[in-house]
Amino acid sequence: MKTLLFLIPLLIGCSLPKNKSPYQKLSEYEGHYEYVGGSTLDLIASEFDTTLYAILDNAKYPLKYIEKDSFVDISNQTVVFERNKEANVISYKTNGETFKLIDKEFEKVEMFPRRSLFQNPNEYSYQPPQQKNDGLLTGVLKDEFTNPEPIINMVKKTIKGDFEDVHSILIYKNNKLVLEEYFYGYDENTPHQLRSASKPIIGGILGITIDKGFIKSEKEKLLPFFKEKYQNIQNMDERKKEITIENFLTYRHGMDCQNNNPESKGHELKMMESEDWVKYTLDLPIVQNPGKSSSYCTGCALTLGSLVEVTTNEKIEDFAKKYFYEPMEITNYKWTFEPNPTSSKTFSQMYITPRDLIKIAKMYKDNGKWNGKQILSKEWIDKSFEMEKGDYGYLWEHKYFIVDGKQYNSYLASGNGGQKINIWPELDMITVFTGGNYNSYKLYGKSTPPNEMIPNHILKAVQ
């Protein structure tokens, strides 16, 4: 999710000493292992960058090599492998726990961007996206961009590995899908985890709840809807009583909740240590008047998802299937909404294919319509995109780039790892990225590749 940090130890990559035959030595640790809470993880040695990775939920986290059989995680906890009398690795130990090797034979994720072209990325040849029976028209890049070369170069650099762990790039321009590229073994049939890019979709589902009359208006006070479910909300004062649904939609909640501040009481990692993430959010103390200024807070979106369930008396997954996914002909997706510790590894996030993300963005761009069906009211779409420069609408974000002195505006749904759905109204364009650069700023002190690829390649192509 956007600032959602993984709860497991995150691990930094490093090559082994040159005299150790790095890849072969790392391969000794490969396998399918036990992990916390009865779950499992895979360890894979990568030929691509000579690093050992832990793989969970198809997300990879590199381990830093210290010495033989010893690695370290980002919090300086050691990960030590144990061997049997035959010198074969049989388990690893970390944080006082031992986790056994289950199997050396397992299905490995692809570690190369595109293995067949990795050595010769210039041999890449652009192919228009395939026309499918999914409601999306396809076109040719050069017909919609006067200068498509920066986009072609962007794909080649991704194949080369210059833009690490980008899993997909899709561009929809002038009502045609003109670029659709996948990497690291991903394809058009793979639902990808969205992390916090799920939040604007939850906002849309709440919009349907209001459109259908389950809630009169987003201007209504929020807390009364939860009075039966939570009868003892903490830190109650007059300011908290004034919080509206709209305050949560725009992150103008007034509570001590800042995802970019680890000291904040509402920081998502602290929230996720609680037994009920919605109750934890509603219990937070107020630090300023609601509606005054925005502060990005994961608990807001989770609370609004719970609000859908409270007001419709239905699981949000069932409500969304009936009124959102099925009308949009989206069937290849996964979603379990459980804002409690059972979601400590999945974060209650959605898994959707990149092509279907284009469809969702197109529905928003087309005033709430998909293939002639009104999914969301135009009024809700308009209010979703009412936002100040660099601020938030109804769980969407205003994201802009300045290229050669010109400002390019977009509405953004963003998730940790490089999940980016940008709607560019002035350019009649939608861009979608998915990726695996989870916690890239925490690990490497840098933003995810799309933040460089968009201004330096895609926006250069539209000039």
Average pLDDT over residues 325-348: 95
For residue 300, which of 59, 6, 8, 2 has the smallest C-alpha distance? Answer: 2
Other C-beta atoms closer than 10 Å to the C-beta of 162 total 16
Q: Is 23 helix (H, G, I), strand (E, B) or coil?
A: helix
- Angstrom CA distances, 107 to 120, 338, 436, stand at 26, 29, 18
Proportion of the chain above pLDDT 90, given as a percent: 88
- Tell me the two tokens of residue 84: 């049997």
pLDDT exceeds 90 at position 248: yes
Other C-beta atoms closer than 10 Å to the C-beta of 276 total 16
Residue 406 has a pLDDT of 96
18-103 against 192-462: fold identical = no
Give residue 446's pLDDT band: very low, low, confident or very high (50, 70, 90): confident
Taking the whole predicted model, whether its pTM rises above 0.75 is answered as yes
Residue 174 CA from chain centroid, whole number:
26
Please check whether residue 283 is in contact with residue 346, taking contact to mean a CB–CB distance below 8 angstroms: no
Residue 230 has a pLDDT of 97
Please check whether residue 43 is in contact with residue 111, taking contact to mean a CB–CB distance below 8 angstroms: no
Domain ranges of the chain: 18-103, 192-462
CATH number of 192-462: 3.40.710.10
pLDDT digits over 12-69, tens only? Answer: 344 444 456 789 999 999 999 999 888 999 999 999 999 999 998 888 888 999 999 9
Average pLDDT over residues 159-188: 97
Q: What angle do CA 153, 111, 128 make, to 5 degrees?
A: 40
Reply yes or no on domain 18-103 having CATH 2.40.128.50: yes
- Tell me the two tokens of residue 363: 């529905």
Of 58-72, 99-113, 382-396, where does mean pLDDT reach its minimum? 58-72
Residue 19 has a pLDDT of 58
- Tell me the two tokens of residue 422: 């940008």
pLDDT exceeds 90 at position 261: yes
- Residue predicted with more confidence, 64 or 427: 427
Q: Is 39 helix (H, G, I), strand (E, B) or coil?
A: coil
Residue 419 has a pLDDT of 98
Give residue 444's pLDDT band: very low, low, confident or very high (50, 70, 90): low
Please check whether residue 452 is in contact with residue 433, taking contact to mean a CB–CB distance below 8 angstroms: no
Please state whether beta strands 97-103 and 78-83 pair in parallel, antiparallel, or not at all (unpaired).
Answer: unpaired
pLDDT digits over 133-149, tens only? Answer: 999 999 999 999 999 99
Residue 60 has a pLDDT of 86
Q: Is 37 helix (H, G, I), strand (E, B) or coil?
A: helix
H/E stretch holding 243 = none
- Residue predicted with more confidence, 6 or 353: 353
Give residue 3's pLDDT band: very low, low, confident or very high (50, 70, 90): very low
The residue whose two tokens read 């987003």 is 218
Q: Is 389 exposed, middle or buried (0-12, 13-18, 19+ CB in 10 A)?
A: exposed
- Tell me the two tokens of residue 308: 């859908």
pLDDT exceeds 90 at position 345: no
| Average pLDDT of the chain, as a whole number | 93
